Amino acid sequence: MGRGGEAAQSPLRARVRAEVDASRALRRRAEDRARAQRGYTATVDRRARAQRARAVNAWPSAHGLVAHADTLRYEDVLALVLEAATALYGGCRSVSLTSIDQLSGDQCSYSTVASTGESGAVDAAQYRLDEGPCIDAAEMDLVASVRADDLASVEGARFWPRFSEAAGMLGVRSSLSISVPWSAFRVGLQADQHAVGAINFYGSEAHAFDRSEVQAAMLGAWVGSILSGREPAEVYEGTPA
C-alpha cells in the first residue's frame, strides 16, 4: 500500500482505537457499578437479617415469654409454643401443634402433640382424610401460612372437599395453619421426639384470621428458632391458600 493509502487508513485506525478505548472504559464503569451494587445489596441484606433477628427475639419478651429454650425439655418447649400461640391469637380458643415423625420414612406420619378446645379432633380429621390446611402447612420446609377464610364456601370445598365437610360437622368455619420448618437439618434427627410441623388455629366464624400474615411469619420463625436452637428460619411472605 502506498503512502496515500496509509494516510487514508490513519484516521480510520484512530477512530476504531478511540471506539475500543471508549468501550473498555464503559465496561470498566459498568463493572465498578456492579461491584458497588453488590456491596450495597449485601449491606441491605445484612441489615434486614439483623432487624428480623432482633424482631423475632424481642417478640416473646414483649409477651412475657422466654426468648429461647436451650435448657428446657422438649415437652416444656411444646408447652411454651402453645402458650405463645394462645397469647398471640387471644380470641381463638382452639389451638394445636401438629408434629411429624422424623423416622417414618418417605410417608409422613402426623400427630397432635398439644392442643386446646376441639382442635385435636379437627387435626385428627385431617390426618385421617389426608387433606386440609394443617397437612399442607406441615409439608412445607419454610415459614408460611395456609389460611382457610371460609371452609363452608365453594373455594374451601374445592381445596379440601372431604375436610371441609368434616370441619362443618365439628363447628369449624375458618382456620390458620403456620408451617414450622422441621427438616432433619434444622431440628436434628432424634428417635425420642417428633418435630413440630405446623401450628393450627381454628375458629367458629368465617374470616377469623384475615390480617394475620405478619404475626404468622413472626410466630413461625420464632418457633422454628427455639425448637432447633438455630437462627430464625427464612420467612416466606404470603399465604398459599
Query: pLDDT tens per residue, the chain (241 residues)?
Result: 555 555 556 777 777 787 777 778 888 888 888 787 777 777 766 765 665 555 555 555 655 555 554 445 667 777 777 887 877 877 677 888 888 876 555 566 888 888 888 899 999 999 999 999 999 998 887 888 899 999 999 888 899 999 999 999 999 999 999 988 776 656 555 555 567 889 999 998 888 887 667 778 888 888 777 766 555 444 433 333 3
Choose among 189, 191, 192, 186: nearest CA to 224.
186
Q: For residues 9 and 156, what is the distance between their CA atoms, to the nearest angstrom?
A: 77
DSSP H helices, the chain, are 3-62, 74-88, 119-129, 133-138, 154-159, 161-169, 184-187, 213-228
Q: Which residue has the cell 434427627?
A: 189
Query: Global pTM?
Result: 0.64
Number of Cβ within 10 Å of residue 48's Cβ equals: 10
